[in-house]
């Protein structure tokens, strides 16, 4: 008989054990081994069977066990120590407090930052993530908590989360969507002072107002707000808005993104009002999904609601100054684009942001550039137009993004497109095996220190034999976990237990283990390793130097192409001669990943370059003593140094895709056969591969400090958040600065057609200019209705190629030395010729204002 409703009953704990409830309600337990040990001590079997879910554990422990634990003085003492440690973690000053209080008064340290993302990967027991974007967002919040950075996360609570993956007998991906009970999750509802639950509402064009309740997850010191539309009073099609992650048609996705952006801002306002937390000074949009937050902030400023009544242009400047936009995709297909007519329907007079004209909203997302689609609303384009600061997630991805979005700034070369780079990082306490941390700590490393370099340098002191034994323990743990998962997978595929005896010898803790796990879009090339099945088989079954592969990954439910790739790989792995050396583990999630990264010796990544924006899985492997074997893409392109792994040669620019795959697969096989496997199996008399261990040491020392999420969040604070807060304060004191900036931009754009470079001459070069010789450049510039304070006249100079294009040019400022009638001015500058060889220069005029972030911000320039 099926129940018509389900809910979770919370346990009534004895007073001495009440701290267990506190520990379970703060997700710091997911990266704090000592807290996990306390839960494991409650009931080891239940802890394991619950999937390491403390809320579920506490709900299933029998009352008699609580009486035993309450009488156990040792357990009560350990519980108190862990509770006190959490209290100290939540209240004591951390890095951000140390650097922001009383130091560097010229830096505008933000009082609060809002971080919006459609998904957050915090822990497997809160399945609100699908892949790298969500894991990155979760690591961002965890690292911010560790550093004490004041961030509020904002997302949606999906009733089904992302799908669970299994395989059919034929190896075809199958999806299921278990219903999540919010009361059984480590989250709580936000309540008003009178005890009623806090909700937000949005006007919608196709019915009554949309209602959403607000759930709060405590991620250490960071609150994560999640909106849920399963609210009494909502019609069914509203309830379904938060049904699942990345599901439904365009209209469904648009509703989700309106809720995330517009509703998310309202949720923050409610949270800050109820808790007394400061309102955010900076808003960070993690990918374009939350871009409508900028429209809601314009509405707040134009409608007033107890605050200012600004015009649209002024409100836009206020919002832009305090907004950061991070783009994560290097492929246009990864960007959310909606029919303009659909956006117009939802943001018309009956829409959620009254007072912001729909034509202004449509203009923000318009692809009104060469090659754009005039009928499409582009969320990434809106993200760039609503944010004064934008970045990609690796150096290479920043370069790719500047090329992708050059059309928004067509008057400027690609290098000057205002999109920077902050390379992603990973949260070490979540992803590094406790055995690795213990090994470093035993040799003098301080896991609580801010000095990451000294922590990872401690591996130099660890004897090679100890390092190698630790790696074998981690490999052994992976093998055991993989066998359990493989057995469950085959049983779901219809196999009888009697057929599965071979699984007991699947994988081997003494064999070179290569991991490959990620989403399965075509550009990540899951099946590149199968280009030559016989060659792969020979590597797996080599008599002296065998290789084994542990593979995982989900394909989007609508991507049959990705599902076919999985099926192709699974069918190869099912073959009796190789199934003990290659396994596909279904349902790739955090719980699967945590033993996978430490247990692998090599992490394989072979995307089509340059389509991997960053790719953080290899970072997690590196922190656990794994060597990367990767195409030079994403983060590996900037941090591979020849000694911390291997670079797979890439056939960039080859138009024949099959030929490119053949070449790169051949290079992969060659590297494994001739370099990777021989080094792994080249052991000394004690069975230790000394050269391999030296590569591990170098990997930890060279990559350990770089790939950390704490480094990443620190970069965001210094390079983006603090400057954004500074600009916001300059504009927001009485909004006079914002009004002046909006009016200045309008005036400059209107007058720009009158700006001309009329004459340029170089003086003092002589017939044979020498390196270091001075060159004086004079230019006559007509500014029309503008003044010299409105512009900067620049000398752009440097090496030139055969077509007279400037290559990596330098910029020097020319200064106004004389003014003439009719708005004409003379500008002079002197530079020393920096190098020999072909040299060229030009003069250009660009807008200049103290609150502009980039030369290209207005998108206008006048060239000689």
Q: Which residue has the higher pLDDT, 770 or 174?
A: 174
**Percentage of the chain exceeding pLDDT 90:** 86
| Residues 328, 393 contacting (CB under 8 angstroms) | yes
List beta partners, residue 548: 513
Judge contact between 844 and 780, C-beta under 8 A: no
Which residue has 């991805």 as its token pair?
A: 397
Closest among 775, 817, 813 to 793, alpha carbons compared: 813
Distance, in Å, from the CA atom of 419 to the CA atom of 660, rounded to the nearest integer, reads 30
pLDDT above 90 for 445:
no
774-782/582-584 β-pairing = unpaired
Q: CATH 3.40.50.2000 in the chain: give the residue spans.
A: 107-425+717-733, 428-707
Contact between 606 and 528 under an 8 Å Cβ cutoff? The reply is yes
Q: How confident is the model at residue 5 (pLDDT cuts 50, 70, 90)?
A: low
Tell me the backbone φ, ψ of residue 418, rounded to 5 degrees: -80, 65
Helices (H) and strands (E) in the chain, counts: 32, 27
For the chain, what percent of residues have pLDDT higher than 70?
98
- Return the pLDDT at 274: 98
Q: According to DSSP H, which parts of 116-232 are helical?
A: 132-147
Mean pLDDT of 715-737: 93
Query: Residue 9 has what DSSP assignment?
Result: P
Q: What is the DSSP string of 284-308?
A: EEESGGGTTHHHHHHHHHHH-TTS-
Which range among 158-167, 257-266, 327-336 shows the weakest confidence by mean pLDDT? Answer: 327-336
From 51-55, 593-597, 752-756, 805-809, the region with the lowest mean pLDDT: 805-809
pLDDT tens digits for 197-219?
999 999 999 889 999 999 999 99
Query: Cβ(304)–Cβ(343) under 8 Å?
Result: no
Name the more confident of 66 and 103: 66
Q: CB–CB of 351/203 below 8 Å? A: yes
- Is residue 2 pLDDT above 70, yes or no? no
d(CA 561, CA 40): 42
Given CA atoms 438, 442, 448, 454 in this order, what sign does their dihedral have? negative
In angstroms, the Cα distances linking 850 to 88, 416, 749, 789, 814 are: 42, 18, 17, 10, 17
pLDDT for 567:
97
- Cα distance between residue 540 and residue 694, in whole Å: 25
Residues 6+ apart with CB under 8 A from 341: 375
Question: Other C-beta atoms within 10 Å of 517: how many?
Answer: 23
Cβ neighbourhood burial of 294 (10 Å; 0-12, 13-18, 19+): buried
Q: Supply the pLDDT for residue 349.
A: 86
Residues 494-502 have a mean pLDDT of 94
Q: Are the C-beta atoms of residues 96 and 717 closer than 8 Å to each other?
A: yes
Using pLDDT thresholds of 50, 70 and 90, give the confidence band for residue 303: confident
Q: For residues 157 and 835, which has the higher predicted lDDT (pLDDT)?
A: 157
Which residue in 74, 88, 66 sits closest to 20, CA to CA? 66
- How does DSSP classify residue 330? S
Measured between alpha carbons, how far is residue 688 from residues 8, 441, 443 in Å?
A: 52, 22, 20
Task: Tell me which residue of 257, 268, 71, 244 sits closest to 151, measured CA to CA.
Answer: 268
Q: Which two tokens stand for residue 148?
A: 């004490």
Cα separation, 706 vs 641, whole angstroms? 13
Q: Which of 332, 335, 352 is nearest to 343 (CA)?
A: 352
pLDDT at 260: 98
Please determine, for residue 384, whether its predicted confidence score (pLDDT) is greater than 80. Answer: yes
Give buried/exposed letters for 483-498 (b at 16+ CB in 10 A, else e).
bebbbebbeebeeeee
Q: What end-to-end distance do the CA atoms of the chain give, in Å?
A: 81
Please tell me the distance from the alpha carbon of residue 257 to that of residue 286, in angstroms, as a whole number.
Answer: 12
Judged against a pLDDT cut of 90, whether residue 50 lies above it is answered with: yes
**Interior/surface letters 232-241, b for 16+ CB within 10 angstroms, e for the rest:** eebeeebbbb
- Report pLDDT for 10: 66
Tell me what the mean pLDDT of segment 13-32 comes to.
Answer: 95
Checking if the pLDDT of 3 tops 80, the result is no
Give the 3-state secondary structure of 437-470: HHHHHHCCCCCCCCCHHHHHHHHHHCCHHHHHHH
* Residue in the structure block whose two tokens are 């862990």: 82
More confident residue, 236 or 766: 236
Rounded Cα distance, 700 and 457, in Å? 7
Output the six-digit token pair for 99: 């650097």
DSSP annotation of 559: -
In this structure, which topology does domain 107-425+717-733 adopt according to CATH? Rossmann fold (3.40.50)
**Rounded Cα gap, residues 192 and 29, in angstroms:** 27
Q: What is the pLDDT of residue 141?
A: 98
Length reported for the chain: 864
CB 599 within 8 A of CB 474: yes
**Dihedral sign, CA of 351, 353, 355, 360?**
negative
- Spatial neighbors of 247 by CB under 8 A, at least 6 apart, are 557
3-class SS of residue 857: coil
Structural domain 751-863, CATH architecture: Distorted Sandwich (2.70)
829 CB contacts (<8 Å, ≥6 apart)? 776, 777, 795, 812, 813, 814, 815
Task: Mention every residue, 6+ apart, whose C-beta is less than 8 A from residue 496.
Answer: none
Looking at residue 26, the DSSP 8-state letter turns out to be: B
Query: Which pLDDT score is estimated for 805?
Result: 87
Alpha carbon distance 568, 534 (integer Å):
15
CB 410 within 8 Å of CB 402: no
Q: Tell me the C-alpha to C-alpha distance, in Å, between residue 704 and each of 428, 453, 801.
A: 9, 7, 40
Q: Is the pLDDT of residue 9 over 70?
A: no
In the structure encoding, which two tokens stand for residue 746, read together? 């309008």
CA 327 vs CA 361, 387, 422, 591, 824: distances in Å? 20, 12, 11, 27, 42
Place of tokens 């400057």: 723
What tokens appear for 406 in the block? 């050059």
Alpha-helical runs (H) found in 118-173:
132-147
pLDDT tens across 218-234, in order?
Answer: 999 999 999 999 999 99
> d(Cα 832, Cα 536) in Å, to the nearest integer?
58
Do 24 and 18 form a contact (C-beta atoms < 8 A)? no
Range list of H helices, 624-689: 634-639, 657-671, 677-681
Query: Would you say the pTM of this structure is higher than 0.75?
Result: yes
- The answer on pLDDT for 6 being more than 80 is no
Q: Where in the chain is the domain with CATH 2.70.50.60?
A: 751-863
DSSP, collapsed to helix, strand or coil, labels residue 780 as strand
Name the more confident of 806 and 689. Answer: 689
- Which residues partner with 188 through β-bridges? 216
Q: Which whole-number Å values give the CA distances from 112 to 86, 438, 676, 792, in the listed order?
A: 22, 35, 47, 34
The reported pLDDT for the residue numbered 710 is 97
Mean pLDDT of the chain: 94
Burial of 84 from C-beta contacts in 10 A (0-12 / 13-18 / 19+): exposed
Question: Check: CATH 3.40.50.920 for 428-707?
Answer: no
């Amino acid at each position: 008989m099926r129940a018509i409703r389900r809910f979770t009953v919370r346990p009534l704990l004895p007073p001495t054990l009440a701290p267990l409830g506190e520990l379970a309600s703060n997700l710091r337990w997911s990266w704090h081994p000592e807290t996990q040990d306390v839960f494991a001590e409650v009931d080891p079997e239940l802890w394991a069977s619950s999937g390491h879910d403390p809320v579920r554990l506490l709900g299933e422990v029998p009352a008699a066990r609580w009486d035993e634990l309450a009488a156990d003085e040792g357990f009560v003492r350990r519980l108190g120590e862990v509770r006190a440690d959490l209290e100290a973690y939540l209240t004591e000053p951390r890095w951000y407090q140390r650097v922001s209080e009383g130091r560097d008064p010229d830096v505008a340290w933000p009082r609060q930052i809002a971080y919006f993302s459609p998904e957050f990967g915090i822990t497997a027991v809160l399945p609100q993530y699908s892949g790298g974007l969500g894991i990155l967002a979760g690591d961002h919040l965890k690292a911010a908590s560790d550093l004490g950075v004041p961030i509020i996360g904002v997302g949606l609570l999906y009733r089904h989360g992302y799908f669970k993956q299994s395989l059919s007998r034929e190896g075809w991906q199958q999806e299921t969507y278990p219903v999540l009970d919010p009361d059984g999750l480590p989250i709580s509802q936000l309540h008003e002072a009178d005890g009623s639950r806090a909700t937000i509402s949005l006007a919608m064009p196709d019915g009554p107002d949309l209602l959403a309740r607000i759930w709060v997850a405590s991620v250490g010191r960071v609150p994560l707000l999640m909106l849920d539309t399963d609210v009494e009073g909502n019609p069914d099609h509203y309830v379904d808005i938060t049904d699942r992650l990345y599901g439904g048609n365009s209209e469904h996705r648009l509703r989700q993104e309106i809720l995330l952006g517009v509703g998310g801002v309202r949720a923050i306002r409610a949270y800050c009002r109820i808790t007394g937390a400061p309102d955010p000074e900076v808003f960070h949009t993690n990918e374009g999904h939350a871009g409508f937050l900028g429209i809601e902030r314009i509405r707040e400023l134009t409608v007033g609601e107890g605050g200012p009544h600004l015009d649209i242009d002024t409100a836009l400047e206020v919002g832009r100054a305090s907004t950061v936009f991070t783009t994560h995709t290097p492929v246009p297909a990864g960007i959310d684009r909606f029919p303009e007519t659909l956006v117009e329907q939802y943001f018309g007079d009956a829409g959620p942001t009254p007072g912001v004209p729909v034509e202004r909203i449509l203009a923000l997302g318009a692809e009104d550039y060469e090659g754009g689609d005039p009928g499409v609303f582009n969320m990434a384009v809106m993200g760039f137009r609503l944010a004064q600061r934008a970045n990609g997630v690796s150096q290479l991805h920043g370069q790719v993004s500047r090329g992708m979005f050059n059309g928004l700034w067509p008057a400027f070369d690609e290098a000057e497109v205002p999109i920077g780079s902050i390379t992603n990082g990973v949260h070490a306490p979540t992803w590094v095996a406790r055995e690795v941390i213990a090994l470093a700590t035993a040799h003098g490393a301080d896991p609580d220190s801010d000095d990451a370099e000294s922590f990872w340098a401690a591996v130099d002191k660890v004897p090679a034999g100890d390092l190698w034994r630790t790696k074998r323990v981690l490999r052994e743990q992976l093998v055991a976990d993989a066998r359990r998962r493989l057995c469950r997978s085959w049983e779901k595929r219809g196999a009888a237990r009697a057929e599965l005896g071979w699984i007991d010898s699947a994988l081997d803790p003494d064999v070179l283990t290569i991991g490959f796990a990620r989403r399965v879009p075509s550009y990540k090339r899951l099946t590149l390793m199968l280009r030559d099945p016989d060659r792969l088989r020979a590597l797996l079954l080599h008599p002296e130097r065998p290789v084994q592969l542990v593979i995982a990954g989900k394909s989007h439910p609508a991507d049959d192409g990705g599902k076919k790739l999985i099926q192709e790989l699974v069918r190869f792995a099912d073959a009796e001669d190789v199934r003990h050396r290659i396994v596909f583990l279904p349902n790739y999630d955090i719980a699967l990943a945590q033993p996978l990264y430490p247990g692998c010796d090599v992490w394989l990544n072979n995307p089509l370059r340059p389509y991997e924006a960053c790719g953080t899985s290899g970072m997690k492997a590196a922190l656990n003593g794994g060597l990367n074997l990767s195409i030079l893409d994403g983060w590996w392109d900037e941090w591979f140094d020849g000694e911390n792994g291997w670079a797979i040669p890439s056939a960039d620019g080859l138009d024949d895709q099959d030929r490119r795959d053949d070449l790169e697969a051949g290079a992969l096989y060659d590297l494994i056969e001739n370099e990777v496997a021989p080094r792994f199996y080249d052991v000394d008399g004690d069975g230790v591969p000394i050269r391999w261990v030296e590569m591990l040491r170098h990997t930890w020392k060279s990559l350990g400090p770089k790939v950390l999420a704490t480094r990443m969040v620190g970069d965001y604070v210094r390079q983006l958040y603090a400057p954004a807060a500074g600009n916001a304060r300059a504009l927001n004191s009485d909004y006079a600065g914002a009004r002046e900036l909006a009016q200045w931009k309008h005036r400059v754009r209107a007058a720009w057609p009158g700006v001309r470079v009329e004459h340029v001459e170089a003086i003092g070069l002589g017939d044979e200019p020498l390196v270091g010789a001075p060159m004086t450049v004079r230019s006559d510039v007509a500014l029309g209705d503008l003044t010299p304070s409105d512009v900067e006249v620049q000398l752009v100079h440097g090496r030139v190629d055969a077509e007279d294009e400037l290559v990596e040019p330098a910029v020097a400022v020319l200064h106004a030395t004389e003014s003439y009638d009719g708005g004409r001015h003379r500008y002079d500058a002197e530079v020393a010729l920096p190098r020999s060889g072909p040299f060229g220069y030009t003069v250009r005029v660009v807008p200049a204002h103290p609150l502009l972030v980039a030369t290209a911000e207005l998108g206008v320039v006048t060239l000689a």
